[in-house]
Structure 1
Amino acid sequence: MQRVKVCCIGSSEEAALAIRYGASALGLVSEMPSGPGVISEAEIAEIAARIPPPIASVLLTSRTDPAEIIAQQRRCGVNALQLCDRLPRGAHQTIRRALPGVSLIQVVHVKGAASVEEAQTLSREVDAILLDSGNPSLRVKELGGTGRTHDWSLSAEIVKRSHAPVFLAGGLNAENVRQAIAQVQPFGLDICTGVRTAGALDEARLVAFMEAVGG
């Protein structure tokens, strides 16, 4: 069974719904330059406190300064960080030293062949890599939630070379997820827009996605 992280959780009710249908991790989105699902740190802390073990509570952060990321984690009380932008050299080690019990997930936005080398290098620094379809080089950065797929052949190559487990995100839905699994063979999947309607977690779409993932 593929592990599934349901992202853009906006309430304790959405968290409970995702868990009911088999989510192994829940994504809680803090301030971002663009994209869906952003909630306040107070809301993130409230939801995270109600997520039972062994479900991972994952804070999505756009911050790149290690001190700011560490402080944000301590305010929110999550047990995993999804680092959505590129961090300066040495930042991962700084965060890990300060937060030894917190898992680090680094996002790599798959845009071309250079992303393969980037992911391979970063996979030595973190607990997992998450492949998405954003673009941090734009004037208004896209750091996730685009609803677009990317080149899965590059993702498959990253999975082969990575030293850490790899999650696949970007435009997944009930119609394409079986193909994505077969082609990429990821450790896990990350889903946001593919299980939402008008911004809200849609139970029917979530069930359809989980059934497709289950085969």
Structure 2
Amino acid sequence: MRTRVKICCISSIDEAQLAIRKGADAVGLVGAMPSGPGPISDQKIREIAAQIPPPIGCFLLTQEEKSDEIAEHLLRTGVPTVQLVRHLSIVETMHLDRVLLTTRRVQVIHMEGPEALDLIEKYEPHVHAFLLDSGKPGADIPELGGTGRTHDWELSRAFVEKAKKPVFLAGGLTPENVGDAIARVKPFGVDVCSGVRTNGHLDPKKLDAFMSAVRTADRHR
């Protein structure tokens, strides 16, 4: 099995092209957030998304919690896949079934404890994939991604084993630890932001090292 790689916090067309040249399967474009790295304007997201060639995936990270506002955010940006970084209510999740007929949905699960496993049953009928991250949505200033912190990979492994939908692993991944993460969690894909950046900019050498570590781990899966 080949581990998919998503490079997040893309800030320009040049960064998107660099990520793709280095082997990224998908890129993430971050909308307005209460904290964390990478937010860019909706206009910039739209400009970058228009330049992403198939079959490369393109994800919009949105903090919106209402189905109509999520749909409007997608309409403004023209991105084909939405990454929902908050734990939506079941009412809004079900309403999205009616308003996002063709948009692929990835639900972020913030792995704060074993209760995260209970969210599989809640969301799985309504999404195409999960993404496990290290945020704290209930903090005074909500953390919804881009924390640079790892979480309990044994819990993530349990999530992967229980879920029937593909699962991406995020949170503090680097060229040094991604191989261990893949071996322990066995995710469908990995997602990285700060781990392949230097002074906020996408670093070609770190990208090469990250991709090499992923492919080495794949050979031992």
Verify same fold: TM over 0.5.
yes
In 2, the alpha carbon distance for the partners of 1:50 and 1:202 equals 20
Quick check: 1:120–1:158 contact (8 Å CA) kept in 2? no
Quick check: 2:6–2:27 contact (8 Å CA) kept in 1? yes
Which residue of 1 is the match for residue 128 of structure 2? 127
Q: Encode CA deviations 1:73-96: one digit per residue, 9 max, x unaligned.
A: 011000100000111223223223
Alignment coverage as a number of residue pairs: 215
Farther off after superposition, 84-93 or 197-206 = 84-93
In 2, the alpha carbon distance for the partners of 1:120 and 1:182 equals 25
Give identity over the alignment, percent. 51
Which residue of 1 is the match for residue 219 of structure 2? none
Which residue of 1 is the match for residue 86 of structure 2? 85
SS of 2:125 mapped into structure 1:
coil
Taking the TM superposition and a 5 Å limit, the aligned residue runs for 1:29-178 are 29-178=30-179
1:97 Cα shift? Answer: 2.2
Cα-Cα RMSD: 0.9
Quick check: 1:120–1:161 contact (8 Å CA) kept in 2? no
Q: Encode CA deviations 1:86-123: one digit per residue, 9 max, x unaligned.
A: 11223223223222221100000001110111234322
In 2, the alpha carbon distance for the partners of 1:96 and 1:82 equals 15
In 2, the alpha carbon distance for the partners of 1:107 and 1:205 equals 25
Normalised by the length of structure 2, the TM-score is 0.95
In 1, the alpha carbon distance for the partners of 2:205 and 2:147 equals 21
SS of 2:118 mapped into structure 1:
helix
Q: Encode CA deviations 1:22-81: one digit per residue, 9 max, x unaligned.
A: 111110000000000000000000000000011111000011011110001011000100
In 1, the alpha carbon distance for the partners of 2:160 and 2:52 equals 29
Please tell me whether residue 186 in structure 1 is matched to residue 187 in structure 2.
yes
In 1, the alpha carbon distance for the partners of 2:67 and 2:94 equals 9
Which residue of 2 is the match for residue 13 of structure 1? 14
In 1, the alpha carbon distance for the partners of 2:43 and 2:72 equals 14
Quick check: 2:170–2:192 contact (8 Å CA) kept in 1? yes
Amino acid at match of 1:169: A
In 2, the alpha carbon distance for the partners of 1:190 and 1:104 equals 16
1:163 Cα shift? Answer: 2.2
5+ unaligned residues in a row in structure 1: which ranges?
none
In 2, the alpha carbon distance for the partners of 1:120 and 1:110 equals 15
